[in-house]
Every structure is written in structure tokens, then in C-alpha cells.
Amino acid sequence: MTVNVNSKTTDTFYRYKMPNILAKVEGRGNGIKTVLVNIPVVAKALGRPPMYLTRYFALELGVQSQFDSRNNRYIINGSHIASELQNLLNDFIRRFVLCSKCDNPETILSSSGKKPPVRQKCKACGHSESLDATHKLTAYIVKHPPNSELNTQKESIAELPAKSRRKVTKRDTISAKDGKESLRTKKESVNDEDDVEWSEDFSPESVKKRREALTSGIQAYAKAQFAYAKNQVICEGSEKSERDRADIFYSYVKQRKSDSTISQHDVHNDIYLKAERLGLIEKAPLILVQVLLPTNIVHELKKYKKIFIRFTIDSQEAEKSVLRGIEQLIELQKSELLPKTQHILKTLYDEDIVTADVLVRWARKPFKKSVSEEVHLAIMEKAEPLIQWLENESEGEEESDLEIVYDDKVRDIHIIKVEMKQQVKDPETETEKQEKEDIDIDAI
């Protein structure tokens, strides 16, 4: 997916695009690091060397960085999520890419080693300015200017429509005596880049051609490069079977739980991205149930509800996977968990992990069965009072003369107790005495 280079611009047809940052965490403990997978593609879209972006991330995060330009491998120490790096990238663009006058990213950097140390010139409006000399990245740019070998960029946003420009060197002469200008048109190899200046044609036709080149060329290039980088990472384990990929995800989540980082918000995103890369978005919740709910299932559901919601918030298939996982847990510990079926399902509903619609359809029109027929029927029997209550609640919402108002997110069963008294028992009172009991399912 590509986004606007200027994050403040919401125009869908904004012609300056770039791919989102892709980050991959590797290692563990003191050796943990984040690999910036597609930083060369992002830097290419911005017209800046990838080392500048990597160094900027390291400076802002207070960590060390390392890079190998030949192998396109750029790393910063520590574990960092893509969204955090994307915010830093937007800040980098604001400081070192966008023109302060026209907000156009078609700028180039130059450094002569003198004050002002680094200047930025806009190719769109011609505005020239000095960059913030107090930022440490500016000092880094002075030591490693864009014209040096460290800059592996062959072309930037400002240089893409180069066909409409001409190189003018010191050897070119202009005859002032007769008022005629003569420029050498021979292509000559120039070893010293400092002797090269750019001459631009600002006629309406040339400007139009440059715009068309920027619109079609940059977007097509960025899309192709991003698709390639995404294919290298998102298809992690694509050569493996689904069972093998599930085992990889199981081990990954188990490791996160064992090192006590599973409750961190950024780890939730890492787990989601891991499932996405393995192609297990819809089936991942079933594995999460197996790993995260071994004991005291109701308590653990409340503890880890955010990570479950991360998967189920926009996916009914993920909700179904949660229910299948719960069924399997109940089958493994039938004597312990079957009596608490109603309370477990009620917790899933109260914590917004599974919606009422999915619960009712699961009971009335069972999904693909993951347990034996006997266990499934026993679970349905225990869940029947709760399912009836959910159906009645849904019907009550449709009645125009109903005066009772309640919140869909936080429900108090006792509010409608009078209405339901003759129809079904309160689903919570039947098992509330068992809420504090510990459940041992070490056999999983």
C-alpha cells in the first residue's frame, strides 16, 4: 500500500507517493534488532539515501544503527513496530524533504562543508533554504554528503524527468559578443560531480511532461518495488504447509508469553503482523486460545482480550476461530470446563471478543465442527440459556415501543431480569460460584 509523501495531504490523487515502512524484528534479549526491510524503496521514493533515514531513526530512538548498502540491509537496534517508525518517517519528511515554502517533496540537498552546512533547494518553486544545523542528522549529512559514494540513489523525485534537462559543464561556452548562445550538445563523461549544474526548461510543455512523468513514473516504480519487498516479507513461510506455518506461529506466541511481553500493545501488533505474514489471520485466534488460555480461562480471557479483539474486530471468521478453540479446550477438559460453558461464552460476549450474531449463528447453524458430535451437543445444551437470552435481547432491540435503554458494550443482565424471569435463568448466576475456580488444562 502506498501513502502520500506529505502526511498532511489527504488528496487521493496526490502524485507524490511512497510505500509504508515494513519492519521485521529479529533476535532476542540484548541482541534484538529491527530490520528496515523496504527502506531502500522508501528512500528511493523520497529522493534521499537510505542511510539518512536509518540514521534519523537511530538518533530519534536513541539506539545504534548499522547498514550494508551493497546488500540493502539496514538495521536499528531494539524492537520497534512499523507504526512507530512510520511516524518518525513523517517527521523526517517534514524536516529534510518537504519544501518549507510550497510543501513539495521535489527537493535536493547539497553540502559544501561550509556554513550553512546543508542547503535544500526545491525544484518546483526554486526556493532554497538551510536545514536545521542543530539536528545531529545535519552533521551526519555534512560528513556524508548526498554526492558521496554513500548515496546509492541513481535518481530521485527531482531527477526522474531528466530527459527534459541538459547537463551544463564548465567547458560549455556562451558567446556574448554576437549575442548568440552556443552550448555543446556532445555527451561527455564528467568525473567531478561538483562541476555539474542542471539547466531546466520551464516552458508549459516541459512542465506538463514532468508532471506526467512524476504521476506515472513514480507511482508505477514505487508500486512495483513495494510489491516486490512486500512479497519477500509478507509471504514468510509460503513454501511451507499450513500446518508448518501454524507451528511457527504457535512457537512465536508461546515465546512472547514466556518472556512476559505478550501484554504490551506493540507486541499485539507484532503478533498480528506475524500472523499476516504467515497467512493465518483468520485461524490465528484458535492458536491464541491454545497458548493463552491454559488455566483459569475466564480470567485469562479478560487479561488478553485486547489481543483477541485485534483479530476479531473486523473479521467474523476470526470470531468463529475463537469459538472453535473454546470448543476444543472444553473437549480436552470436559469435566472441568463443560459446566462453565455458559460463563465462558458470556465472557467472550461481554468483553466484545465475539458478537451476539456470531454466537447465535454458531448455536443455531453450527460451523465446521472441530470436536466430536457428543461434545458439541453437550456444549450447545449448556449454552442454550445464554443463546435464548441473546435472541430475546436482539428481538427486544427491534421493538419500537421498548422503553428500556441499555448499552451494547456494557450489559447488565439484571436490567432485563423482570422481562426474562419466566423464560430463562440468569446465565451468570448459574455459574458465578465457579468464577474463582482455577482450571487445570496442562494436558493441552
Please report the domains of the chain, with CATH numbers, ordered by start residue: 2-163+195-234 (3.30.30.170), 281-434 (1.25.40.180)
Give the whole-angstrom CA distance, residue 406 versus residue 393.
10
**Predicted local confidence at residue 244, as pLDDT:** 86
For 105-123, give the DSSP string. Answer: --EEEEE-SSSSSEEEEET
Q: Are 51 and 72 in contact (CB under 8 A)?
A: no
Contact 4, 17 (CB under 8 A): yes
- Cell numbers placing 206: 516541459
What lies within 8 Å, CB to CB, of 25 at 6+ separation is: 32, 33, 34, 35, 79, 80, 270
pLDDT of 193 above 70:
no
Contact (Cβ atoms closer than 8 angstroms) between residue 125 and residue 143: no
Q: Can you give the pTM of this predicted structure?
A: 0.41
Task: Extract the C-alpha cell encoding 373.
Answer: 458430535
Query: Which run of H or E residues covers position 181?
Result: none
Beta partners for residue 75, in sequence order: 35, 66
Counting other chains too, the contacts that 211-219 makes at CB distance below 8 Å and 24 or more residues apart are 211/15, 213/160, 213/161, 213/163, 214/15, 214/16, 214/106, 214/157, 214/160, 214/161, 215/15, 217/160, 217/161, 218/15, 218/16, 218/17, 218/45, 218/157, 218/160, 219/2, 219/15, 219/17
pLDDT above 70 for 20: yes
Question: Which has the minimum average pLDDT: 77-81, 187-191, 312-316, 429-433?
Answer: 187-191
Predicted pLDDT at 145: 84
CA nearest neighbour of 292 among 376, 349, 353, 237: 353
Q: Which of 346, 323, 434 is nearest to 393 (CA)?
A: 346
Q: Among 218-222, 262-266, 382-386, 390-394, which stretch is predicted with the lowest mean pLDDT?
A: 218-222
What mean pLDDT comes out for the span 192-221? 61
* pLDDT over 60 at 370, yes or no: yes
Residue 198 has pLDDT above 70, yes or no: no
Q: At what angle do helices 265-277 and 242-258 cross, to 10 degrees?
A: 170
Is the pLDDT higher at 197 or at 1? 1
pLDDT for res 393 = 77
The per-residue pLDDT of the chain, averaged, comes to 74
- Categorize the per-residue pLDDT at 406 as very low, low, confident or very high, splitting at 50, 70 and 90: very low
Whether pLDDT at 65 is above 70 = yes
Residue 86 has pLDDT above 70, yes or no: yes
Percent of the chain with pLDDT over 70: 67
Helix (H) or strand (E) holding 66: strand 65-68
Average pLDDT over residues 266-273: 84
Can you give the pLDDT at residue 53?
A: 92
As a whole number of Å, the CA-based R_g of the chain is 30
pLDDT of 98? 92
Q: What is the pLDDT of residue 263?
A: 75
pLDDT tens readout for residues 3-17: 888 888 888 888 899
Distance of CA 320 to the CA centre of its chain: 24
What is the pLDDT averaged over residues 71-75? 86
345: confidence class by pLDDT, cuts 50, 70, 90: very high
Residue 405 has pLDDT above 70, yes or no: no
For 365, residues 6+ apart whose C-beta sits below 8 A from its C-beta are none
Predicted local confidence at residue 223, as pLDDT: 59
For residues 366 and 374, is the Cβ–Cβ distance under 8 A? no
Q: What percent of the chain has pLDDT over 90?
A: 12
What span, in angstroms and rounded, lies between the C-alpha atoms of 333 and 290?
Answer: 12
Q: Per-residue pLDDT averaged across 209-232, rounded?
A: 59
Give the pLDDT confidence score for residue 90 in this predicted structure.
92
Nearest to 88 by CA among 56, 120, 63, 50: 56
Residue 444 has pLDDT above 70, yes or no: no
The pLDDT of residue 202: 65
- pLDDT band of residue 201 (cuts 50, 70, 90) is low
Among candidate residues 123, 121, 122, 117, the one with its CA nearest the CA of residue 144:
117
Q: Is 227 helix (H, G, I), strand (E, B) or coil?
A: helix
End-to-end C-alpha distance for the chain, whole angstroms: 39
Model confidence over 135-192: pLDDT tens digits? 888 888 888 887 644 343 344 444 444 444 444 444 444 443 444 444 444 444 444 4
Mean pLDDT across 225-232: 50
Rounded CA-CA distance 198/163 in Å is 12
Binning pLDDT at 50, 70 and 90, where does residue 255 land? confident
Average pLDDT over residues 335-355: 90
Closest CA to 37 of 273, 239, 255: 273
